[in-house]
Amino acid sequence: MGKPLNTAARTLAFAALTVSLAACGRDITSSPGEAPNLEEWVADVQARPAPPLDPLPVMQQFETFEYAAQGLRDPFSDAFTSDSGGSGPRPDSNRRKQPLEEFPLDSVDMVGTIGRGSGLVALLMAPDKVTHRIRAGDYVGQNDGRVTSVAEDRVELVELVPDGAGGWLERPASIALNDN
């Protein structure tokens, strides 16, 4: 009983395939009584004259300019940052750098103090988790921060920052004891 049904399904599928292929084989260029065929339409479109082209734009003439600044100051020279002249604080380029000067000031934490009175020493922890002993006169931070005083709850220092005109400005800063 399964065999006749299988044969009937095959016959029906073959008939549907034949009908669909026959519909695809219809000649669309020669349908009588309907719209003009495709070949005639293409020939008609090709026979039409091309629309006229827009004229080319007129090129604008620019005035020539000769740059003659050989006698003027070079804007990229170190005229504003020379070390000659000008009074005020300056970083000591001959001073040996201390370990905490490689870290930004805001990344250094105060974790405690040792001693009393004028012998007070601050304990500062660097980002690499190494604790350093700091006294007045030591340097901390990347802006030549010189420690001016050590208290039980903070370290006071003065940084040297460029003023933008070749000089340096002193800027007070402090590191407070962490309550953590």
CATH topology of domain 99-176: SH3 type barrels. (2.30.30)
**Residue 74 has which token pair?**
């070079």
Alpha helices (runs of H) in 30-143, residue ranges in sequence order: 38-47
Q: What is the mean pLDDT of the chain?
A: 81
Report the distance separating Cα 77 and Cα 55, nearest Å. 51
Is residue 123 exposed (0-12), middle (13-18) or buried (19+ Cβ within 10 Å)? middle
Report the distance separating Cα 103 and Cα 145, nearest Å. 11
Which residues have a Cβ under 8 Å from the Cβ of 126 and sit 6 or more positions away?
Answer: 99, 100, 103, 107, 108, 132
pLDDT for the residue numbered 22: 66
pTM above 0.75, yes or no: no
Based on its alpha-carbon atoms, the radius of gyration of the chain, rounded to whole angstroms, reads 45
pLDDT of 157 over the 90 cut? yes
pLDDT for the residue numbered 23: 64
- Using alpha carbons, list the distances in angstroms from residue 90 to 95, 145, 147, 168: 12, 12, 16, 6
pLDDT for the residue numbered 79: 53
- Weakest mean pLDDT among 14-23, 37-46, 118-127, 140-149: 14-23
- Return the residue matching tokens 């006169």: 137
Report the distance separating Cα 21 and Cα 11, nearest Å. 15
DSSP tag of 33: T
pLDDT for the residue numbered 10: 86
Mean pLDDT, rounded, for 120-147:
91
> Looking at per-residue confidence, does 121 or 24 come out higher?
121
Q: pLDDT of 161-178, one tens digit each?
A: 888 877 888 999 999 987
Report the distance separating Cα 148 and Cα 157, nearest Å. 5
pLDDT for the residue numbered 48: 92
Contact 175, 110 (CB under 8 A): yes
The distance from CA 35 to its chain's CA centroid, rounded to whole angstroms, is 62
Largest CA distance in the chain: 116
- Weakest mean pLDDT among 23-37, 48-62, 124-138: 23-37
Mean pLDDT, rounded, for 100-117:
89
Domain ranges across the chain? 99-176
Query: Residue 147, Cβ neighbours under 10 Å: how many?
Result: 22
Q: What are phi and psi of 161, to 5 degrees?
A: -120, 145
pLDDT for the residue numbered 69: 78
